[in-house]
Structure 1
Amino acid sequence: MSLNPMPRGRILAIDDEAEILENFELCLLADGHRYAGFTSVEEGLLEASSERYDLCLLDRHIGRDCGVETLPKLKQLAPWMRVIMITAHADVDAALEALRAGADDYLVKPCSPEQLSVAVARQLEAGRLSQRIEALEREHPSPPSELSSTHAGTQQVFDLARRVADTDANVLILGESGTGKGVLAQHIHACSKRQESELVTINCPSLSAELLESELFGHTKGAYTGATNASPGRVSEADGGTLFLDEIGDFPIGLQAKLLRFIQDKVYERLGDPKTRHADVRIVSATNRDLTQMVSEQRFREDLLYRLNVITLTLPPLRERGQDIIDLAERFLDRFAGNYARPARRFSEEARQALLLHRWPGNVRELQNVVERAVILSEGEVIEPLLLGLQAQPSGGQGQTTALVGTDITLADLERLHIQAVLGRAETLDQAAKILDIDPSTLYRKRKALGLDTD
């Protein structure tokens, strides 16, 4: 008797082949599930809007309709529902497209009853686990995994952020692209006394000066060409909460005086309306630019900078954070393996070294994307370097280890990387020992102790 009975659920299938739907029905009813199948997208969406289903089997091509385009509509109707995309070809690009669009898994048809049963059971269990985790997180909120660090400088930044979160002090977050400035801004708001009100984000580089002013402070109908409807503005939306100005270094110089006035006096006017309004808003801003240099070049107001940087938090680049690279990669691995119901559980030693050696110009965002892709493509429990898709480092070059000097990588890991690099370019053990200036017998013992003995 099984100690872990197969989970039962309500299954919806959308496929334009009636024979496929009949096969699904035979298999799923035999497994004890409740089932409904439809040959058109319209019928399937109508059913999803009227009945609650745990899982949908969605064909990638349904007549003239595209399953990938239908997927967001399903998720909007039933955000809790897991989706398995059904495809006629074992195409990695098609699978990645489906998973990126929000599918939780994919199957190649025709598939065996066993394959269908296992895939369905895995997604039902993943869905129920996700719901339990969400319930626990609502009861016991915790900081995102990106806001945990063994790097002393980074942890000091996170600690300071938590200390100032429950004040109304304006915060300026500095750091390279992808270091997690937006995540930190969200956490500051979540830990503040304003958490019950809105966190409103404006991406400064995405709009012209006129549109940015309208987006920020609002406008009346007809205030400018194209203003066919009135808008209250993002400042009004953020009243009582937090306004996050992302990439503040790109804020137009001609509009900075109005922003300064609002920050100082909490008052503003909408475009086309002389009435002065008030809004109680905390300002959190972020940039990857050197604002002090921009002040000296007269591209940013000094008085505005002083108002923005009451508290300044500077996030170090990922390449300087040593062991954080592995810790974050493992957290992302756990997260995406759960989200996509994939078997991946750990990185091989070679994959760990590849992660440490990469320079991470895109920082935490790049690491997250690399791990997500590796998890999606994984077929076993161990992720190998090839799945990471990282650019190979020069064989035996000093760049492999010198890039890590001064970071928080342990001395043992640094020694292992250096010995591995020397062994890779030396023709014999004796030659490697001579380069390292140690006895060959010592190198032999170190090689075995470090797991580098491949003979």
Structure 2
Amino acid sequence: MAYRYNAESRSNKATRANSKSKAESNGPGLLDSGMYDDEETGIDPASQVRGMNILIVDDEANILRTTSIALKSMGHTPFTAENSRRAEFILAEERIDAMFLDVMLGNENGLDYLTKLKARNEKVPVIVFTAHSSIESAVESMKRGAYDYIQKPFIPEEIRQMLAKLERSIALERKVEALEEQVADKDATIRLESEEPDMQKTFNVAFKAANSEASILILGPSGTGKTVLARNVHQRSPRAKEPFITVNCPSLSRELLESELFGHLKGSFTGAVKDTWGKVAAAEGGTLFLDEIGELPLEIQPKLLRLLQDREYERLGENRVRKCDIRVIAATNRDLAAEVEAGTFREDLFYRLKVISVEMPPLHERPSDILPLAENYLKHFAVREGRKNLRFSTEAGRQLVDYTWPGNLREMRNVIERAVILSVGDEIEANDLPDDFSQDESGGPRPGQMISLAELEEAHIRRILAKADSLDQAASVLGIDTATLYRKRKRMGLT
């Protein structure tokens, strides 16, 4: 439906608005159908903001009706309440993105209700309706935490512009939150490029799948950058401007994890002191990232399967079925196929999650990537410490490549940060690296170095012989008979 503002003067409407009469006989309201017709909108469809759930709180039926019509024409979903009690009910039942609140609600003071909302840390931005002659109340509403205000009488274009402004503010807040999360993320500086064919395949598959709505399962040991890959998939997807919400599955008990995912009603369990919306609602329109999905309790798995299949869920303590529009990406360091065999993970959920499956290998399987990744971390921390010319010495670089990196990228980040802090001059030397990086007392090679098995075997035998009390003991440790060890020792030139 479309509308057009007629030529009636704003001053006449102001006079009518300030009367606050609810009687239909007193004439049309501020956004009454008499002010519009169905021929044109006067609103540029291309400039309309993303559809939001908007609660209108006003004691005038005419305002509720006509503002609702205007919001619908702009692609939003309106909810109406004639008083704060009804508004409270809707806030508990619906995910509200913004609220229009009249300063005068019959016998209630709208600003007092605004104060109540802000006192309990309600996150919904509130736009106050105030009469043309009551600029003082508008100023007071801003002091009490209102996002902005609109003077009565108003036209649909003013509503549209206000909501466009709000949408830009929300988008900016999300961007700031995302940047803050990336700064706090220990793996935020991971380089998503590789010289390794297997890694190139992982990135190619993940980024090709980014434009789809398919669920993605990212496999790999802890610290390999699964979260960073998931975030990059989101950033390359059509949902990039919407939230990226992370749920760490092992971090909470079963009941608290279910509440964090789906939300709960007040009193639904011990400690549920108020209604809350979960991470599913927070991710609306965007991506829900389930980290370490292999730790998800078996009792919650059917609910996640329903979310994936039907895009439906229920809050704890609530019988109402809610719809959602989210994309799910999951990650795990577990062998989910083995978990399915063991009966600890649902087979149907496993296959629903792995529509697209990619693997992040451990760092020691990416030898050609080690130095570029380390240099990427070095650049990040050197800039932070004001040492832009800092570099690795030849020996330090060799030790970084030779090290086995059991903690993967997470360990690398910590090692490089430590080295930047402890180093002196423009080079990070080998002695700036942890003791684990230096060769042991025998001076020989270590597992993970670019050497042959024969060289590694000889180095290991030498170390065991140096520590064992006898040839028999050394042979026992090595798992070979004494005669074989004697021959190997002789071949190595040892007597």
Q: How does 1:229-240 map to 2 (within 5 A)?
A: 229-240=274-285
Once residues 344 and 395 of structure 1 are traced to their aligned partners in structure 2, the CA distance between those partners, rounded to angstroms, is: 33
Larger radius of gyration: 2
Partner of 2:396: 351
Q: The residue matched to 2:237 in structure 1 has which SS?
A: coil
1:172 paired with 2:228, answer no
Q: SS state of the match for residue 218, structure 2?
A: strand
Count the aligned residue pairs: 273
Indicate if the aligned counterparts of 2:249 and 2:293 stay in contact, CA closer than 8 A: yes
Answer yes or no: is the 8 Å Cα contact 1:239–1:280 preserved in 2.
yes
**AA paired with 1:203?**
N
After TM superposition, the structure 1 = structure 2 runs for residues 4-403 of structure 1, keeping only pairs within 5 Å, are 145-342=190-387, 345-391=390-436, 392-395=438-441, 399-400=445-446, 402-403=447-448
Change (3 A) 1:386 1:347: same
CA offset digits 1:395-437 (Å, max 9, x no partner): 556652x5235xxxxxxxx59xx79x99xx9xxxxxxxxx999
TM-score normalised per structure 2: 0.52
Contact 1:242–1:281 (Cα < 8 Å) also in 2:
yes
1:92-127 residue CA offsets vs partner (Å, 9 max, x unmatched): xxxxxxxxxxxxxxxxxxxxxxxxxxxxxxxxxxxx
1:177-210 deviation per Cα after TM superposition (whole angstroms, max 9, x unaligned): 1000000000000000000110000000001111
- Cα deviation, residue 390, structure 1: 4.0
Deviations 1:267-322 (A, max 9, x none): 01101111110001111000100101111110000000000000111011100111
Kept in 2, the 8 Å contact 1:344–1:383? The answer is no
* Equivalent position SS for 2:232: helix
The residue type equivalent to 2:261 in the other structure is L
Check the 8 A contact 1:343/1:378 in 2, yes or no: no
1:378, distance to aligned residue in structure 2 (A): 2.1
Preserved CA contact (<8 Å) 1:170 1:307: yes
Work out the CA distance in 1 between the residues paired with 2:243 and 2:411: 28
Q: Is the 8 A contact 2:189 2:376 kept in 1?
A: no
Matched residue type, 1:332? Y
Counterpart in the other structure of 1:404: 449
Structure 2, unaligned runs of 5 or more? 1-178, 180-187, 463-490
Please give the alpha-carbon distance, in whole angstroms, between the structure 2 residues aligned to 1:436 and 1:341.
Answer: 51
How far did residue 394 of structure 1 move? 2.9
What is the distance in 2 between the residues matched to 1:153 and 1:264?
Answer: 31
Cα distance between partner residues in 1 of 2:385 and 2:264: 43
Determine helix, strand or coil for the equivalent of 2:328: strand
**TM-score, normalised to structure 1's length?**
0.57
Any conservation in 2 of the 1:179–1:318 contact (CA below 8 Å)? yes
